[in-house]
A and B are shown apart, each in its own frame.
Chain A
Amino acid sequence: GAVVSQHPSRVICKSGTSVKIECRSLDFQATTMFWYRQFPKQSLMLMATSNEGSKATYEQGVEKDKFLINHASLTLSTLTVTSAHPEDSSFYICSATRINEKLFFGSGTQLSVL
């Protein structure tokens, strides 16, 4: 069964609104989670590393004020797309790893901004 749960799977929002995506590790504690983004017909790109209890680390070119990451507990990381615009429409997917184990991915969130 799934070890990383992501919600919602699909969201449609109006331009200018904010959207929150949740990523939960099931049955294990994940001190670190990762957020990726995938545009149509492209591969996944790492956006940021979410660290429990501390600030997220963003990859070059990713706006930290636009993509707010909160890792409030050992099993939950959230990604909030603030003031979303059509160019933010994408597939967002999170991942988590147990120590020295394989990396598990959530089922992803398809965001469409109108």
Chain B
Amino acid sequence: SQELEQSPQSLIVQEGKNLTINCTSSKTLYGLYWYKQKYGEGLIFLMMLQKGGEEKSHEKITAKLDEKKQQSSLHITASQPSHAGIYLCGAVISINSWGKLQFGAGTQVVVTP
């Protein structure tokens, strides 16, 4: 089965600083999603990456899928309190079914003043 390792488990960043979260797969990724969650609440869609080398940005968040399609990173520039939460990466585990995701364990982000 595919293993998805997300790092770091948690991080504390000062407001205004940048942060990066990584998601590494034991197998080639057909696609990868990034979501943000507050525990016990729904998931907020951030990015969807499909092609090796793909990079997408939205506001201050950038996500990349590496060329070999086994790793993705999520980068937040000049973090704000609104960026606090749990970030989850979800790997598409079936090329025939883009809704079947295997999730990483999540990264808890805390933004301090």
Contact = CB atoms under 8 A, between A and B. Distances in A.
Interface of A: 6, 32-34, 40, 42-46, 49, 91, 93, 95-97, 100, 102-108, 110
Contacts of A49: 97, 99-100
Contacts of B45: 102-105
The dominant DSSP class at the B interface is: strand
A102 B99 contact: no
Contacts, number: 56
**Interface range for B:** 20 to 34
Contacts of A103: 33, 45, 48, 90, 98-99, 101
Contacts of A40: 39
Contacts of A106: 42
B42 to A, nearest CB: 4
A32 B39 CA distance: 25
